[in-house]
Every structure is written in structure tokens, then in C-alpha cells.
Amino acid sequence: MIVKSEIIEDSTSKNALHKLETKYAWIYDLIYPDFLPRIKKQNDILIEKLRTGGNKDILELGSGSARQSWLLNREGYNSQALDLSPQMVELAQKKIGKDRAQLGDARSFKTDTPAGAIVIGPLVTCFFLDNKDLSRTLDCAYQSLANGGLLLCEFIAADHILKDPFYNGFSKQEFKISQGKITRFHESRLDLQTDAKYDWFSTYIFDLKDGLSIDTDDVLLRAYFPSEVELFFDSHGFEILDEFGFDTDEFVKMDKAKNKTTLLFLAQKRR
């Protein structure tokens, strides 16, 4: 499967290419090791449905270092990765091979042959600040999927950010890595002028083997309500097969999830 994509240079891509995705891409996997088992659980939901079909080609959008594709390839699927950040793509290529990871925009891509599935994580959709960003991505996914192809897509839950003070106030996180310690202070402010958004300003203190340094990073992110996602999917040719909420450490059926931090949808391209 050959994937072609052109970067859309606008406020959305500039916002997405903040320092944690570029300058500090090398620390991403190190400070978020808990993402890997979570992605494995997400993949299990997709694979369970894929077993009934024969198309093993999968495209991961906004892949970062391609942890999801790495796991899918280990399961025998042909997963390729697309990301906006050159630094992330370099990490992905080291992980899954140069021929499987490339630079590209989730809002502007096409495949030369139909894919069996496309996966999009919550740390991709949170950068779709305008409705047109998600619409463009879903249009590309529809055109690139085989009939009956699957779309696994996760979103930050708006209900969660609206009630959790972590997303509207000050907080602190500490990460210990082999090179030393990273302390991150956050100032998060809700921005509800149009949709459920929050402005995330971070101050990093790097206490590493090569010395002490400080830097800042600022990014605007968006969260979604389930009804929003359902409307987007229906209007872009997708039928939702299942809905989940990430509750503590498990993906639970949406109607049973008590404290869902993210929303996970498994949808199918209408035939």
C-alpha cells in the first residue's frame, strides 16, 4: 500500500507541531510508557473485528513514534504510519522501518489500494480545532478504505475535561528516565468560545546527566462529546459498530463507563 500526503500549512498544523512533538519528541515514549498497554487494548478491539476480513493493510494517522503500528505489525498486519512531525517520523522509522513510516498530514492523504482499517488516536483528534479538520480526515479515510473497511478513532472526552481541575488550573508531573528527571508544571485554561477546548501551557525543568535546563511549551487542544462524534461519522459515510469509554485502565462499553477520560469508536465504511 502506497500512501501519498501533502502537509496543509495552517494554524492547525502549526499548533500541532509544538515542542513536545518536535524538539522533545525523544522523551515522548519515555514519559508515557503507560500508553503502550493501553494501545494494545485498543488494538485488540480492532483485531477482533478484522479477523473476519482478509485485508491486512492498516494506516495509522498521527502516529507519533508508531507504537500502534509496531504492535499491529507484530500481530501479522501490514501497518503503515503517517505523522506531521519530522522528528516523530524519524523515531517511527527506527521502530518499524523506513518503508513503513512517512511524513504526512491526517487531513490530506490517499492510498493507492484500499486499506482494511485506519486508526486515529486521541492525541491526533485533539489537534483538530476546527470541524473542517476532522471532516477532511474522515473524507480521506472514507476514500482510502475498502468497502466495509474499519475506522478506529479515539477522542478526548469533553465531559472529563470540563469537570477535572487538571484541565482548568495548575498541576505538576514528574518523570524519571534513564537520563535523569523531568519536572513539568502545567497551567491549563478552558476555552469554551466555540467547542470544548483547553489551552495547555507547560514549563519543563530538565535535570539530566548533561545538565540543568528550562523550557516552555504552549498548545491548544480540543475535546469532544459523544453526540458530536456520532454526527461526524454519520455525515461522512460511517456506521458506528461499537462505542467505548476509557475508564481508569480499561475500555468499557460507553453506556457502562463511569469516568471516561477518552471516547473510542469502532466504525465501518458504509458499503
Q: Would you state the pLDDT for residue 51?
A: 79
pLDDT in tens, 199-214: 999 999 999 998 999 9
Domain match, 195 and 123 both: no
By CB atoms closer than 10 A (0-12, 13-18, 19+), residue 104 is buried
How many domains are there within the chain?
2
Q: Would you state the pLDDT for residue 53?
A: 67
Contacts of residue 214, Cβ cutoff 8 Å, sequence gap at least 6: 203, 204, 205, 206
Domain match, 106 and 195 both: no
Domain match, 12 and 56 both: yes
Domain match, 148 and 176 both: no
Domain match, 217 and 229 both: no
Domain match, 96 and 191 both: no
Domain match, 32 and 46 both: yes
Q: Which domain holds residue 215?
A: 161-221
Q: What is the CATH number of the domain that holds 39?
A: 3.40.50.150
Domain match, 182 and 208 both: yes
Domain match, 153 and 106 both: yes
Report the candidate in 99, 112, 47 with the shortest Cα–Cα distance to residue 76.
47
Residue 249: DSSP 8-state: T
pLDDT in tens, 111-139: 999 999 999 998 899 999 999 999 999 99
Contacts of residue 133, Cβ cutoff 8 Å, sequence gap at least 6: 12, 107, 127
85 contacts 23 by C-beta, under 8 angstroms? no
Domain match, 101 and 189 both: no
pLDDT in tens, 67-118: 999 999 999 999 999 999 999 999 999 999 999 999 999 999 999 999 999 9
Domain match, 70 and 126 both: yes
Residue-averaged pLDDT of the chain = 94
Domain match, 259 and 131 both: yes
**How confident is residue 194, by pLDDT bands cut at 50, 70 and 90?**
confident
CA distance 182 to 204: 7
Contacts of residue 85, Cβ cutoff 8 Å, sequence gap at least 6: 16, 17, 21, 22, 25, 64
